[in-house]
Structure 1
Amino acid sequence: MKTVIHKAEDRGFANHGWLQANHSFSFANYFDKDKIQFGALRVLNDDIIAPNMGFGTHPHDNMEIITIPLKGVLKHRDNMGDQWIPVVPGEVQIMSAGTGVQHSEINGSSKEHLSLFQIWIIPNKRNVEPRYDQKKFNEEGRKNELQTLVTSIDGNHDGSLKIHQNAVISRIDLDKDSTFEYHMKNKNNGVYVMTIFGNHTINGSSLEARDAAGISETDKFSVTTNEDSGLLFIEAPLN
């Protein structure tokens, strides 16, 4: 098993005043030749956005974009529907940019900061018809049990959002002093594990909030918690 550890404090950071952005991989003005991507996983941004602020209308194409609000309320608008749509913690949003889409993302609150993960995954099909979807996932569904959020549009998994890539995104909230074994869905994939909160150990490495580990060259691995922990798993092809 190959394990690459990315500590939270080693991420790229940008302070835009209204936006506090942490970049797990090279993004915008942050560049690290050793952190371009993890296979098809191109971007994992950990953003905090000030009240009433956000990203104005801008374009994307040929990228699968997944947004996971953690605190506050996100409001989304794009040229496929042209209306503001709220996305709150517990919900996940996906957008297949395909041939091209214009969208805006803002903090929908006038008082509370918005905290979210934004994930970009390189698609396995180019120039598809753009599409948008979102879904609510109950917190109880990830209590000491893997909750699948996103899978391939070509697969047959019921209940998950779909993207154009052989990838799986899932979450779990584990109690202290528990062990969980993650099984790869595909032997050619790797898994990028982001610690949302807590403290746990993977392959002898202790990981705290916002620390991450890239796991590859194995079909399974174990997580042992030292305290209550929330984990995000992003499994994606490595080549």
Structure 2
Amino acid sequence: MSKLIHWSKKEQEEQVLFGGSFIENKPISFPSYFKKYAYSNLFYWAHLEAKESNIFPLHPHEGFEIMTFVLKGRVEHYDTINAKYIALKQGDMQIMQTGSGMQHSEKILKGSELFQLWFNPDFKLSLKNKAQYKDYSQADFVQDQKEGIKSIQYLGDESTNYHETQGISIKKQIFEKGKYFLALDKDTIYSIYILNASGTINEQEVIKDDFIKIEESQELKILAKEALELFIVSSPSKISYPLI
């Protein structure tokens, strides 16, 4: 039987950083002593808005595959691999395979908006690898428009962009006003963030910044009341390696 869980923005964890410079809402927050929020190989998901320019100071990562998607504005990234700041602009994506360890810093400019997602690529393997990362621009993504749907494929499916975590697909889709019926894989979990506008997903009313998790479903029914913009992550319902 199909399962759908819906979190409004108010139901997601909120974190205010650096005196209000950054505000995050987290569809998937870090685990606590009492509760684990991660599922599949998707460990963490944060949406950040920069009310003022500020900087995350140098800090370490290891093991995780960490992806940043710049939705608006500009982010400047520094790390111990290149030892210099490199800019990411609206529409860009960065993938860090943090492997055996690296440190990085992020300068996020006022008015910017971004996603950061962490995946578990199988720690017993990833921790043995040298850390690396790559930046991608809009020209690196497979783009398509048909039957009222504009798609931007970041990873998986038709995309050849390298990622360490197996079985995932990440895309943005914009649906023109209307009704849509799309086939799903019942062995895949679909994590959907509503970027803009309003409508229904499998008969569930959604608005901007809502988050939907769908599993054990073979169909996605969408009613777009206006141009509806969705950020969709697909990941396996069953993982063959230990998760943390």
Scaled by the length of structure 2, what TM-score is found? 0.84
2:117 counterpart letter in structure 1: I
Root-mean-square deviation (CA), in Å?
A: 2.4
2:28 counterpart letter in structure 1: F
2:143 counterpart letter in structure 1: G
Q: Report matched runs for 1:85-100 at 5 Å.
A: 85-100=86-101
Tell me, in whole angstroms, the C-alpha distance in 1 between the residues paired with 2:166 and 2:142.
27
Change (3 A) 1:166 1:92: same
Shift of 1:24: 1.2
**2:68–2:115 CA contact under 8 A, matched in 1:** yes
User: Which of 5, 26, 29 lines up with 1:26 in the alignment?
Assistant: 29
Match of 1:232 in 2: 231
SS in 1 for 2:163: strand
**1:173–1:231 CA contact under 8 A, matched in 2:** yes
Shift of 1:116: 0.7
SS in 1 for 2:143: helix
Tell me, in whole angstroms, the C-alpha distance in 2 between the residues paired with 1:50 and 1:92.
21
Match of 2:74 in 1: 73
> Greater shift after overlay, 210-219 or 125-134?
125-134
1:147 aligns with 2:152: yes
**2:143–2:153 CA contact under 8 A, matched in 1:** no
2:43 counterpart letter in structure 1: R
Shift of 1:51: 3.8
**1:150–1:163 CA contact under 8 A, matched in 2:** no
SS in 2 for 1:9: helix
Shift of 1:82: 1.2
2:23 counterpart letter in structure 1: Q
* Structure 1 unaligned residues grouped into runs of 5+: none
* Structure 2 unaligned residues grouped into runs of 5+: 239-244
Shift of 1:142: 5.7
**1:166–1:237 CA contact under 8 A, matched in 2:** yes
Q: Report matched runs for 1:31-46 at 5 Å.
A: 33=35, 36-46=37-47
Per-residue Cα deviation, 1:202-239 (whole angstroms, up to 9, x for no partner): 21101110111111112442322111111011111233
**1:200–1:226 CA contact under 8 A, matched in 2:** yes
Tell me, in whole angstroms, the C-alpha distance in 2 between the residues paired with 1:204 and 1:62.
38
What is the aligned length? 228
Match of 2:119 in 1: 121
**1:52–1:106 CA contact under 8 A, matched in 2:** yes
Change (3 A) 1:161 1:145: farther
